[in-house]
Amino acid sequence: MSQPSPAREIGVDRDGRRRYELLDDTGFDEVPKKYRKFYRRWRGPGDSLAPNEAFCPVCKIVVRSSRELREGDKIYCMACMTRLRIGLSDDGILEARAVY
């Protein structure tokens, strides 16, 4: 089920974060064309998130960034127009939370 996401690792930031080139096209068609590379559909059980990806808890799609995500990062889900902050779950897993 899990398929490679169309992103290529291109190096590391000064703060040690991996950087990615987001490749078109993920097949996501719900936002304006120039922003589509920042999103993809969740493929269900068997899918997994890359270090630069987060699951939108509001509308259940995958939000992608050009850098590895860390706790405290702010990202946007354009499909449901929600601002998200990356937090740590009780299990110590990174998760996106809606910010109002």
Tell me the site size for other proteins, rule CB under 8 A: 30
76 binds other proteins, rule: CB under 8 A: yes
For 1-100, where are the E strands, in sequence order? 7-12, 18-22, 39-41, 53-55, 61-64, 74-77, 82-88, 94-99
Among 7, 49, 50, 79, binds other proteins (CB under 8 A): 79
14 binds other proteins, rule: CB under 8 A: no
CA Rg value for the chain: 13
Contacting positions for other proteins (CB under 8 A):
29-36, 38, 57-61, 65-66, 73-83, 97-98, 100
